[in-house]
Structure 1
């Protein structure tokens, strides 16, 4: 629990600040390490630990840290359209943080899905600002009610990963206010987050970490935000400008642009000491809230284990319930209780549970879809066929694929040597990768050697190699190679998207891989590659069609990988990687029925859509992936999710497409018509699937609707709803405002969920948010209501409007 409340916290904090000289105050305002803040015994301040989120608490170790729960990704949770779900996720993460003695979780991510090519969309809630804001506020409440700080990020207009540290997001003031600031405004108003993270990018020419207009003017001024503003990691590039612009904490540390340089800026009058005091005040307020100031918090010891039955059931439910039925012809889903299933695809046997980048955690396990379906139906009913290759770049093999040549444990041996070749240290590492970073045990190594025995029961053609920046010497079996993997110097390149070298060769049981590297950077992920060499696509597809022809139903699992859904990179296409489209088409041509499961968090193209019987969007389902997919396919849990972003039918369609800066500028030219708001305009092509779409496992009839308006603002709508199907179901009733002025885009103003039994009828009321029914007048610098009139649309997604209620202008 948090620290004992101080009777007059502000006075207590003022006394603490007064007791510190300038150098000691400034020292607190830069991280002590990559994910740690300094303590100050003189004022009773304990060190604080931060951890990446938002789908798991990784802890202070970037690689090889503690085993932790891996939740379904943010879009999958958001597809519930249920604030209770994100609040539950926040509470779960608070427990996970407490188990690791972490004070601050770096999440939620509440940037918007401006373009479907964004590489980091899997961390964010969707393309609508109201939905994003309400879901994020609930997540923050779930964390902070248990004394763990949340950190909504990335403030602001950080919707691209390409050149994210230098790109200038060019956004007009009205669009900033109505769209991109709105989720943060809702979170500040409804959840009072204890920290906010400023982003890497520039906003209209000013770095976000020193944007006084946004940080001091809007966030701390207009919204009266009393929490702390921290930088994204290595994002701060100035001293006086950032200190005067509203930034409170520079991360990480030690070092960086503050510390001694900020002391000097105060001494020469460029920064007032009162400004430093205000930053420290906010830091100490955060410390008090998380139990690190004064009486120290007591950490619980009886929390559920990440692999315990309670967490496994919880995570299975959270994943399965957010999955979305996109197509279901002739009630193909849920699958019948009898008959045989051919389960096909690389994503079936190597299910992708999380996206790439800093948010990755080390789960206790990942249940593959193959294992989940076999466990649910039995091996006699399920045949499993591998799919085509889906990755261009290798990943770390599972620990059980390698063993330490010295002690035989799963994993590898890491040996550090100095320039003369003397051993500085040798350790067993459970994973086939290790992080080289300042302050780590490998920091002073001139060379790092990775060695492992490949676990084989017979001679096998393997794809082996190395990952990470540097000059490598590689040996495997009788082969010796060299590889020089050089980077461009881009932030995170050596860690988030490490370069790799591989070769295919025959290995025998007992063969070893030995790779020595002269590292090519201060921050670099170093690892081994070892996996069976890929087979030709034609051979794989032929085997898949044979399996499909002999089964009652074929379930083909396709998707993206961390190569497309990752921090640090954007996509260039929505097409599935590899020959997955050809695989689906070939199976659909011979199978009696074909179900496609999409193991991806964001839109993909589906050129085979008219040839398959059902499509289930499974997202990135977390550690219980396979059990959750099985539960959804078999109807044990209704996959009642609704889309949180619009799916284009073709590359290039939509109001915004490329996230790549042009001349260092990302122009938000679509203005307020982001996502479905732009799609709904006249002249736009029909998307593949609309925002809000989702079928579930029953059918619904919408009856009479009405609307309550007060002072030209829609306060609520109501509709009569009947479950006309044969199964109980959950319906998400969505309310949209279509303004009278055609230049003003349609916008979501409210939603609510109803759970009804077959044949049951209910009157469902949808409360509507007034913040989406206003316009920002940039000239006057204030809000004004939208012109009266227009209509309210009650819908099952914008592609299925059931009731239109005109408003009197």
Structure 2
């Protein structure tokens, strides 16, 4: 299907036929993820879905099972815009299969500090890499008629106090860094929507920032798309309408509607302003097939368990995995080395329960998640892999694994949810294989209930100690085998989103057996919003016992693979980290195994930097991100050399907490001051007193490289390189420049793919002039620009001033 960049000829006629009441109605969502249609002009309702690494659909929980892609930092670690384009097309297929018109992604906020809780959704600390990967994603998604939503506009780099924080950013940093990924995505791929953020920028809410939305986005950049709010982000009526925001989400309640209509009638907002918002909405509808054009036909698209889709996801995950160290070519492992007598020893909680995605609104419901243990056992055979559990990695448990509990009525994995009216009569009774329910967010049969009961039987082989409890705010009555507990759980944060994204938890340790019954009742007569669930799992073992078992297994082992990482407690929406240290006693586990195994390989199952105090004690480290539903198979492919781990880091890894140009994401008196200005990430580390553990752009792969010559021809840098190793390899040739008196910055890169051993190849890197601009002063309300070219290798620079 071909999409025209011009407006449909019917647009102005259709817009003129609508009353102001009809126009205003279109500008607030009709539900959590849906918009109103308008029958009089043939406008169909549009459906949005959270992204960016899966298309969840309109249900926050309990919806259809969909493909779970690797997370954004892992995808970006390929440094490949073609990969991003493929990701966009894959997501478009997932969206079309569900009738979704717009996917809420990509996220292009920068990794300002490694403590950011939501970094796993964003690509990198560099604006050029972020912008170009995002542009590829947008092109792929929109090529099939599904809209992309570039988010969160702008300076949205902290989750702490995220609804109210004022990001204080100087004009130069705002223009050179934080606006640049949006500018690149818009110029190179023309996304059809942009999402305004929760935060303020220099004292003005993002959802009503006239200077940035009307002045820069729609004015200076000439962008004709639709600006929607982040969910529940809009704080005002008149300033947000006049400030350039086009759509308030979600609905039907909100600060527009009747209030906006009254403001128009009072002359506080002109009718032309709201009609311009509607014009952009109709333009979006025409692009996604909800009005004037037809939607893309859906035929024969692969589902999330289709072998074609599984192979795509497996290749995507492996393609971004990054070798950080590799002493003596420890990696890749020889698949023939492990035997039944001397198996590969695999250790760690993340080996058995591999974390495939981050927490929050980006979560999707995959058909399965292949753990690293399952992937290696499938590749080598059960008799050649010895799997040993690791230390506890969570501070508080997640909801019960459905395989550990069963519905008392059906005996199937999961729980029974029963809701009642105020008079005690049953409202609904349903099964849930998620062991939880979302209230106040969906149109489920339990909405409006005065009380909810969650019931489960424990599926245990023999009497044992278990940890049981509940998640979710409210007054609970929890009963386990007839013993009753009265529990009141309150939100620790004022953010209502915490009820959904980080609900409070209560647990206790009990002795239970096969068929033990857990029942949790909650009074919801005053209304309830958030995720409610039951906790049930084997009681945690002391770390000393777990480590001793790992040492026993690894003693004398040829190779031990220890899998460590973070969880959705650290990598999640609504919460920032306070340390880069691995949770629990994982560092002690690595040291103990490394002390007794012949060779130790550490696999890091995390999306963002972690501290590695054991680095000198191990032989190899490979970073595998949050690898999605096929993650375990992809990790096995990489460890055994079936695919090259040719990724390059997208974030600089500090060696210690507190190191680096920007650290704390916590506001002071409501403001988060970007004191480092443009010295973000590697730009700030460059020339500093301390060295990072691993630089942005680092990655080893399976071979070695020699660079023989570098020459510059105008904006192109020609690099001759040679594969000096013994295996074919992939190299990412990166060009950095240092404009005179300025910090270093990435100016471009190119990929040399599948280069045989001994071969020389010349790679051309085109430098991007947009990263070479230096903003200074203010001229006519806009900053003046100095464009600087670095003559790579010669040390000379040339600059030309432009408006």
TM bracket (short chain): over 0.9
| Aligned-partner SS, 2:136 | helix
Q: Distance in 2 between matches of 1:442 and 1:478?
A: 26
1:477/1:511 contact within 8 Å kept: yes
Separation of aligned partners in 2, 1:521 and 1:360: 25
Asked whether the equivalents of residues 739 and 797 of structure 2 are also in contact (C-alpha less than 8 Å), the reply is: no
Which position in structure 2 is the counterpart of 1:718? 718
Change (3 A) 1:786 1:278: closer
* 1:704 and 2:724 aligned: no
Measured after TM superposition, the shift of residue 302 of structure 1 is 1.2
Whether the 8 Å contact between 1:738 and 1:791 is mirrored in structure 2 is no
Given that 2:97 and 2:298 are in contact with CA atoms closer than 8 Å, whether structure 1 keeps it comes out as: yes
Q: Does 1:498 align with 2:503?
A: yes
Matches within 5 A, 1:344-743: 344-437=347-440, 439-487=443-491, 488-519=493-524, 522-681=528-687, 683-709=688-714, 715-741=715-741
Q: Distance in 2 between matches of 1:662 and 1:2?
A: 50
2:801 maps to none
Measured at CA, do residues 745 and 255 of structure 1 come closer, stay the same or move farther in structure 2, by a change above 3 Å? same
Identify the residue that residue 785 of structure 1 maps to in structure 2.
Answer: 786
Q: CA shift at 1:298, angstroms?
A: 5.0
* 1:787 shift after superposition: 5.4
- The 2-side partners of 1:216 and 1:380 are apart by 64
Deviation at 1:386, TM superposition (A): 0.2
Give, in angstroms, the shift of residue 593 of structure 1.
0.3
CA distance, structure 1, for counterparts of residue 499 and residue 158 of structure 2: 19
1:598 aligned counterpart, secondary structure = strand
**SS of structure 2 residue aligned to 1:151:** strand
Q: Distance in 1 between matches of 2:86 and 2:701?
A: 22
The residue aligned with 2:206 is 208
User: How far apart are residue 497 of structure 1 and its match?
Assistant: 0.4
Q: Deviations over 1:434-492 (max 9, x none)?
A: 10015543232111000111111211211111111110001112422111001244131
> CA shift at 1:84, angstroms?
0.5
- TM-score calculated relative to the size of structure 2: 0.96
Answer whether contact 2:70 2:356 (CA < 8 A) is retained: yes
Structure 2 equivalent of residue 795 of structure 1: none
Which piece of structure 1 moves more, 299-308 or 270-279? 299-308
Secondary structure in structure 2 of the residue aligned to 1:33? coil
1:430 deviates by 2.0
Kindly provide the CA deviation profile for residues 18-54 of structure 1, in whole angstroms up to 9, marking residues without a partner as x.
1111111100000000000010010010011100000
Query: Which aligned pairs between 1:254-269 and structure 2 lie closer than 5 A?
Result: 254-269=252-267
In the alignment, the residues of structure 1 paired with residue 788 and residue 456 of structure 2 have an alpha-carbon distance, to the nearest angstrom, of 69
Output one character per residue of 1:564-611: Cα deviation in whole Å (capped at 9) or x when no partner: 000000000000000000000000111100000000000000000000
Are 1:167 and 1:201, in contact at CA under 8 Å, matched by a contact in 2? yes
Aligned-pair distance for 1:424?
1.2
> Displacement of 1:398 after TM fit?
2.5
Let me know the Cα RMSD of the aligned residues.
1.4
The answer to whether 1:305 aligns with 2:303 is: yes
* Cα deviations by residue, 1:255-274 (Å, 9 ceiling, x for unpaired): 10000000000000000000
Query: Does residue 795 of structure 2 align to residue 806 of structure 1?
Result: yes
Q: Alpha-carbon deviation of 1:773?
A: 1.2
Normalised TM-score (structure 1): 0.96
Residues 353-383 of structure 1, C-alpha deviation per residue, up to 9 Å, x if partnerless?
0000000000010000001011111112110
1:152 partner SS: strand
Change (3 A) 1:787 1:102: closer
- Determine the C-alpha separation between the residues in 2 that align with 1:436 and 1:752: 48
CA distance in 1, matches of 2:252, 2:316: 39
Mean CA deviation greater in 233-242 or 480-489: 480-489
* Contact 2:503/2:531, CA 8 A, preserved across alignment: yes
Residue 806 of structure 1 and its aligned partner are, at CA, apart by: 2.3
Q: Deviations over 1:238-261 (max 9, x none)?
A: 001000000000000001000000
Q: Distance in 2 between matches of 1:357 and 1:572?
A: 18
How many angstroms does 1:506 deviate by? 1.1
SS of 1:695's equivalent in the other structure is coil
Q: Which residue of 2 aligns with 1:34?
A: 32
User: Is the aligned partner of 1:773 residue 2:772?
Assistant: yes
1:206-265 deviations in whole A, cap 9, x for unaligned?
000000000000000000000000000000010010000000000000010000000000
- Give 2:160's match in structure 1, choosing from 159, 162, 165: 162
Give 1:775 deviation, angstroms. Answer: 1.3
- Structure-2 residue corresponding to 1:16: 14
Determine the C-alpha separation between the residues in 2 that align with 1:60 and 1:69: 15
Hey, what's the Cα distance between the residues in 1 that align with 2:797 and 2:649? 31
SS at match of 2:152: coil
Q: Distance in 1 between matches of 2:16 and 2:83?
A: 44
Query: Deviation at 1:405?
Result: 0.8
**Does 1:144 pair with 2:142?**
yes
In the alignment, structure 2 segments of 5+ residues that lack a partner are 799-803
SS of 2:325's equivalent in the other structure is strand
8 Å contact from structure 2 (residues 735, 746) kept in 1 = yes
Distance apart, 1:528 and its partner CA: 0.7
Equivalent of 1:288, from 286, 289, 302?
286
Residue 59 (structure 1) shift: 0.4
Contact 2:86-2:137 within 8 A present in 1 as well: yes
Is the Cα–Cα contact under 8 Å of residues 78 and 322 in structure 1 kept in the other structure?
A: yes
Which stretch has the larger CA shift, 550-559 or 103-112? 550-559
Summarize deviations over 1:46-101 as a string: whole Å, max 9, x none: 01110000000000000011100000000000000000111100100000001111
- Aligned mates of 1:563, 1:698 — CA distance in 2: 36
CA distance in 2 between partners of 1:467 and 1:321 (Å)? 36
Unaligned runs of 5+ residues in structure 1 are 710-714, 793-803
Larger mean Cα displacement after TM superposition, 92-101 or 431-440: 431-440
Deviation at 1:295, TM superposition (A): 4.9
SS at match of 1:98: helix
- Following TM superposition, by how much is the alpha carbon of 1:521 offset from its aligned partner in structure 2, in angstroms? 5.5
C-alpha separation in 1, matches of 2:676 and 2:357: 30
Aligned to 1:181: 179
Shift of 1:433: 0.6
In structure 1, distance between residues paired with 2:22 and 2:788: 55
C-alpha separation in 1, matches of 2:110 and 2:177: 9
Q: Any conservation in 1 of the 2:647–2:699 contact (CA below 8 Å)?
A: yes
Secondary structure of 1:591's counterpart equals: coil
Contact 2:556–2:596 (8 Å) recurs in 1? no
